[in-house]
Amino acid sequence: MMCTLLRLLIFVGFCAQSLTSAQAGSDVKLSHVESYLNTLKTLQATFKQWDQNGALTTGILYLKRPGHIRMTYDKPSKLVILADGETLFFIDRATKDLSYSPIGQSPASFLLDPHIEFQRNFKIKSFKVDGNKILLTISKKGNEDLGALTLVFRKSPSLQLIQWVILDPQHKKTIVNLEKITSGHDLATTLFDPSVFLEK
């Protein structure tokens, strides 16, 4: 499960280089997606995650840009993944075991950067509108062999991230759906403090 979660985080960070013909005929531009993400300061949602075997886990996601994210998995999982602005932590609430890595080496770098620029370091594999959904498939420029990420946005009544799909180098797929999405909350910094989960 930890490998699946690492893939989930590592690929959430990838975005865009060149536009496809599907985009050219659409009234939605890549810049609209970029603008939406850059104006998104806080977000709260429940999530459902399916791994490559169809196993389902659920939980709550908190996002506070820049630099902060928390994914708390529902029982029976004991996992919490969070970033405190500098470091990405993986915490087992039962054993209080902790591992960590720099935010810049994780997925978090996509949603947590102060300013998101699609054209800088990433490559677009496809960009299309399918009914009320916008699908953006991306891979990291120069590291396409690491896999791909598809971000799915609801087009109307307002643009909103609702799903991401990770395809790893072994073609194993992880799907995350966001539900009960709200934004604009005043999220306390303590939500992203790893010490809260490590106290006895």
CATH number at residue 100: 2.50.20.10
**Distances 63 to 46, 85, 127 between C-alpha atoms, Å:** 12, 11, 25
If one counts the domains in the chain, the total is: 1
Is residue 128 a part of any domain in this protein? yes
Q: Out of 108-117, 139-148, 180-189, which region has the weakest mean confidence (pLDDT)?
A: 139-148
* DSSP 8-class letter at 74: P
- The Cα–Cα gap between 82 and 111 comes to 13
Confidence of residue 16 (pLDDT cuts 50, 70, 90): very low
- The Cα–Cα gap between 5 and 108 comes to 12
Question: Would you tell me how many other CB atoms lie within 10 Å of the CB of residue 79?
Answer: 18
Report pLDDT for 168: 81
- Of 104, 133, 106, nearest to 22 by C-alpha is 133
Is residue 95 a part of any domain in this protein? yes
Mean pLDDT of the region 42-69? 94
In this structure, which amino acid lies at residue 29? K
147 vs 194, higher pLDDT: 194
pTM assigned to the model: 0.79
Report pLDDT for 132: 94
**CA 57 to chain centroid:** 16
Q: Is the pLDDT of residue 126 over 60?
A: yes
Is residue 36 a part of any domain in this protein? yes
Mean pLDDT of the region 36-54? 94
Mean pLDDT of the region 74-78? 94
Phi, psi of 199, rounded to the nearest 5 degrees: -70, 145
Is residue 60 a part of any domain in this protein? yes
Is residue 88 a part of any domain in this protein? yes
Is residue 73 a part of any domain in this protein? yes
Q: Are 192 and 68 in contact (CB under 8 A)?
A: yes
Contacts of residue 151, Cβ cutoff 8 Å, sequence gap at least 6? 33, 135, 136, 137, 138, 161, 163, 164
Is residue 85 a part of any domain in this protein? yes
Mean pLDDT of the region 73-89? 92
Q: Is the pLDDT of residue 141 over 70?
A: yes
Range of the domain at 121: 2-181
Q: Is the pLDDT of residue 95 over 70?
A: yes
Q: Is the pLDDT of residue 5 over 70?
A: no
